[in-house]
Amino acid sequence: MRCPCTGGVSRGCAADVSASRANHRIIVGTMVRDGYIYGLSLLAVAFGLVWATGNWAWGVAPVLLAAFFLWFFRDPPRTIPAGPGLIVSPGDGKVTETVAITTPDGPRQRISIFLNVFNVHVNRSPIAGELIGVVYHKGKYLNAMNPASADRNEQNVVTVKGEGYEVTFKQIAGLLARRIVFNLRQGDRVERGQRVGLIKFGSRVDVILPAEATIQVKVGDHVAGGSSVLAAITTPDRTTPDRTTPAGTTQPRTAL
């Protein structure tokens, strides 16, 4: 499996929610590590410019950029809905499409979500289960609002199997998003709503659902990764959960 960040073989951290060692490498407080790297570096630049020139105006631009990066890489905690058969959004953004599709494995449904630069860009697993497929595809950088981007853009395709069905989600690069981060490997186990990756600076996520899933969002809806229910599916010996299923406990901090 090729790593979408480096082009090399992925050596992701463990998916277990108890893997605290991975936590400290990726998440610090409620922000992705990159936010501190970019933000503090720019603050240092601002300090250097003001010190060298004696004019505070030289520090305004890097300070504003630092504030943007610290805000962009925010990673707010989310309350994960409880209940069997719930499929949550893998990312924040606006629902741009819900459509029935045909795949080599049969009929499916697809929900597309557009993430602009103002959304949280941390990605989360839509269901609990085992990662049975993690495949990175090189591609173009079309506008993520373009339907053709679903197949032609650079993307990381992840399939999770759990509760007797499979859900696939795609991290799709866009015009500005040129780096896809995914730190888990095939065979790892994830929990519903667990942090699994990141797409930087505007992007798109597609969720491929079983044909029998009941979609609970519509085009134009704004969703939050890990906490918004996209669809529900009847699992063996269970009934389809209602959209108003009480929320569960807050999802533990795990690695990106």
Evaluate the CA torsion angle 196, 179, 64, 46 in order and state its sign.
positive
With 0-12 / 13-18 / 19 or more C-beta atoms within 10 angstroms meaning exposed / middle / buried, residue 254 is buried
Is residue 37 within a helix (H) or strand (E), and if so which, with residue range? helix 33-53
Query: Could you give the 3-state DSSP secondary structure of residue 73?
Result: coil
- The residue from 10, 149, 203, 228 that is catalytic is 203
DSSP state, residue 235: P
Q: CA-CA distance, 97 to 110, in Å (whole number)? A: 8
Which residues, including other chains, have CB under 8 Å from residue 104's CB and lie 6 or more apart? none
For the chain, percent helix, then strand, then coil, each to nearest 5? 20, 35, 45
Q: Which of 18, 160, 196 shows the shortest CA–CA distance to 87?
A: 160
203 assigned to active site? yes
Catalytic residues: 203
